[in-house]
Amino acid sequence: MNWITNYVRPRINSIFSRREIPENLWVKCDDCGTMLFHREMSDNLNVCSNCGHHMNITPRERFEGLFDGGIFTEVEVPEPLNDPLHFRDQKKYPDRMRAAQKSTGEKEAMLVATGEIGRTPIVAAAQDFSFMAGSMGMYVGNAIIAAAEKAVELRRPLVLFSAAGGARMQEGILSLMQMPRTTVAVQMLKEANLPYIVILTHPTTGGVTASYAMLGDVQIAEPGALICFAGPRVIEQTIREKLPEGFQRAEYLLEHGMLDRVTDRRKMPKELVQIIRMLMHMPPPVSGDLPAPGPADITPVPPAPSEQK
């Protein structure tokens, strides 16, 4: 080691990584390859305006699009033990965590918030696939428990958006323990007679699919989402057979009775409002509960009979 590797190189790297890359302004659709302007993309909730392909969206962006006026209050999540196993693969676990925190700007892989959609109060939790593949560790377990407790306290439904590569291997068995913990949290909601709605987003896999992501009263998925316990490649290698087209995708699972609905992200808030109001025995949404209608939606009021003379 010398001063070039220890001092000069990190300086050079930090100067270059700080620079805005103009390519960031354009995003290529993973499915159809259309180049999309990033502003247009975020206005469209990261759905391709050409083919309707649903790309990843961070919990914060999702909540901004979901809640009325983009306003929500974050729910505090208790901090778990830091690196209890002193785990190390190619990198130390705390180093991986710091890198993920730096690249996403978030503390961990789940965001919990309270707010209103269509003037319907809810508690929402969303998993962040860009944070260490949304993996379920102790923090995610704590977040789901905090969300369920908040929902019971405020007597609101819990809406959960799942996205995960499974359990967080750096926390070993402690991450697997989150499966029963979160199952108990869901049970708390059921005992309090509160709806628990799961929206499965691409991809939801592994231990997450084997626990809280499959326990919803209503199971909704985003179009094209991969939802499975073991992935298609593992299954193909094990059974040595070609799997059917669209296997483990949202539409396939809807056809085979694993899901209740597949809903476009852009139509999700409206649909959630209807479902929640029905389950919470609230009056159906009236026009005052929803954003103001456009001029084309307003039908002129017929004149009163006395005026017709």
Binding site for Zn ion (CB under 5 A): 29, 31-32, 34, 48, 50-51, 53
Nearer to Zn ion, 262 or 272 (CB): 262
Shortest reach from residue 50's CB to Zn ion, in Å: 5
b/e 197-224 (16+ beta carbons within 10 angstroms → b): bbbbbbbbbbbbbebbbbbbbbbbbbbb
Phi then psi for residue 14, to 5 deg, are -70, -35
Quote the radius of gyration of the chain (alpha carbons, Å): 22
Nearer to Zn ion, 32 or 243 (CB): 32
Q: CA-CA-CA-CA torsion for 213, 219, 48, 298, nearest 10 degrees?
A: -140
Q: What is the C-alpha to C-alpha distance for residues 264 and 51, in angstroms, rounded to an integer?
A: 12
Shortest reach from residue 30's CB to Zn ion, in Å: 8
Shortest reach from residue 31's CB to Zn ion, in Å: 5
Q: What is the C-alpha to C-alpha distance for residues 97 and 186, in angstroms, rounded to an integer?
A: 27
Nearer to Zn ion, 7 or 37 (CB): 37
228 is in an annotated binding site: no
Task: Count the Cβ atoms, other than its own, within 10 Å of residue 261.
Answer: 13
Q: What is the C-alpha to C-alpha distance for residues 5 and 32, in angstroms, rounded to an integer?
A: 42
Nearer to Zn ion, 23 or 89 (CB): 23
Nearer to Zn ion, 32 or 278 (CB): 32
Based on the number of CB atoms within 10 Å of its own CB, is 295 exposed (0-12), middle (13-18) or buried (19 or more)? exposed
32 is in an annotated binding site: yes
Shortest reach from residue 23's CB to Zn ion, in Å: 18
Shortest reach from residue 266's CB to Zn ion, in Å: 14
Q: What is the C-alpha to C-alpha distance for residues 53 and 293, in angstroms, rounded to an integer?
A: 27
Query: In sequence order, what E strands does the chain have?
Result: 26-28, 35-37, 72-74, 110-117, 120-127, 158-164, 196-204, 218-221, 261-262
Shortest reach from residue 52's CB to Zn ion, in Å: 7
| Biggest CA-to-CA distance, the chain | 98
Nearer to Zn ion, 36 or 145 (CB): 36
| Annotated binding residues for Zn(2+) | 29, 32, 48, 51
Binding site, by residue number, is: 29, 32, 48, 51
